[in-house]
């Protein structure tokens, strides 16, 4: 995604958007004045700006989700900020600090993406290290040589498949989101996107995220591996969104009509479980 377009990292249901976070495209980090501390509003609707540091003070302005403001002073749970010509206090519970423009969140995301291969290899190493040295030695003594070779080849094959699947999915970042769509180039919704990714590897998934959430082996989110799917649910527990896990807390997803297919972090407030299909 190049030029001066603003990409919105969105966690969206098939029926709407739950959170919007603006991330500046290539070259746009310089639009934030250097030497200042910036914060981005992260709420479902809007954030009240008050005349003093507390909910008892008058509301003087409302900031939309995704608004970027200049944080001038932080006092405990409240901060004095400036947004355009407006100055007031906001609760830091709903503001994520970006720091100076030289250390914007976009730069961190770009660095994370360039290190993706190394992070995937580290995850594999960590997983293998959880097995104690004694377990490894015992298995080596009891397993026939041919069985050990087959097991090693199988694990290596699955790991290669997972990495390849993530790489394949990333080819379509920037393509459009289309409600009910399954085309990786012309447009897909969240469940159509992962269904088409899996279909490329000969694996059939149900059509909707609600069906997909019960079609594999349910695992905790923290145990997810690249290629596993992570599901989001509303407050009533209804599944409404699915994302493809890339590793290191990052996902690729068909987010919304406005955002299209993007990469982002896991929305842990909405994520309920992961599903493994291979």
Contact 55, 49 (CB under 8 A): no
- Give the relative orientation of helices 105-114 and 116-129 as an angle to the nearest 10 degrees: 70
What's the distance, CA 66 to chain centroid?
16
Contact 40, 83 (CB under 8 A): no
pLDDT of residue 216: 96
214: exposed, middle or buried (Cβ count in 10 Å: 0-12, 13-18, 19+): exposed
Question: Which residues on adjacent β-strands are paired with residue 39?
Answer: 69, 97
Please name the residue that has the structure tokens 């406005």.
Answer: 258
Q: Where is 5: in which H helix or E strand?
A: none
pLDDT of residue 25: 33
- From 248, 273, 243, select the one nearest 12 (Cα to Cα): 243
CA distance 40 to 97: 6
pLDDT of residue 256: 95
DSSP string, 41-88: E--SSEEEEESSSSTTSPEEEEEETT-EEEEEEEETTEEEEEETTEEE
The SS3 assignment for 228 reads coil
> How does pLDDT run across 73-91, given as a tens digit for each residue?
998 899 999 988 899 999 9
From its phi and psi, is residue 229 left (phi > 0), alpha (psi between -120 and 50) or beta? beta
Q: What is the mean pLDDT of residues 178-195?
A: 97
> How does pLDDT run across 214-268, given as a tens digit for each residue?
999 999 999 999 999 999 999 999 999 999 999 999 999 999 999 999 999 999 9
Spatial CB neighbours of 273, under 8 Å, sequence gap ≥ 6 = 213, 218, 219, 220, 221, 230, 231
> How does pLDDT run across 193-209, given as a tens digit for each residue?
999 999 999 999 999 99
- At 24, the pLDDT band (50, 70, 90 cuts) reads very low
Q: What is the mean pLDDT of residues 37-49?
A: 88
Of 76 and 145, the structure prediction assigns the larger pLDDT to: 76
CA distance 81 to 54: 14
Which two tokens mark 272? 């309920």
CA distance 249 to 222: 9
């Amino acid at each position: 995604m190049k030029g001066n377009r603003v990409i919105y990292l969105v966690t969206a249901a098939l029926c709407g958007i739950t959170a919007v976070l603006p991330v500046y495209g290539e070259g746009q980090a310089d639009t934030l004045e250097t030497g200042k501390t910036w914060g981005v509003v992260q709420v479902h609707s809007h954030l009240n700006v008050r005349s003093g540091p507390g909910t008892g003070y008058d509301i003087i302005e409302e900031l939309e989700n995704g608004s970027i403001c200049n944080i001038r002073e932080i006092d405990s749970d409240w901060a004095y900020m400036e947004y355009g010509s407006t100055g007031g206090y906001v609760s830091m519970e709903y503001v994520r600090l970006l720091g100076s423009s030289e250390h914007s969140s976009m730069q961190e995301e770009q660095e994370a993406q360039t290190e993706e291969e190394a992070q995937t290899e580290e995850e594999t190493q960590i997983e293998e290290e959880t097995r104690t040295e004694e377990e490894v030695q015992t298995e080596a003594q009891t397993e026939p040589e041919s069985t050990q070779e087959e097991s090693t080849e199988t694990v290596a094959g699955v790991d290669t498949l997972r990495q390849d699947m993530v790489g394949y999915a990333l080819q379509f970042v920037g393509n459009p989101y289309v409600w009910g769509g399954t085309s990786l180039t012309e447009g897909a919704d969240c469940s159509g996107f992962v269904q088409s990714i899996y279909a490329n590897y000969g694996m059939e998934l149900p059509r909707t995220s609600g069906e997909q959430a019960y079609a594999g082996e349910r695992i905790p989110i923290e145990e997810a591996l690249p290629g596993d799917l992570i599901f989001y649910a509303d407050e009533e527990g209804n599944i409404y969104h699915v994302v493809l896990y890339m590793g290191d807390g990052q996902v690729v997803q068909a987010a919304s009509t406005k955002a299209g297919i993007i990469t982002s972090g896991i929305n842990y407030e909405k994520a309920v479980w992961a599903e493994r299909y291979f």
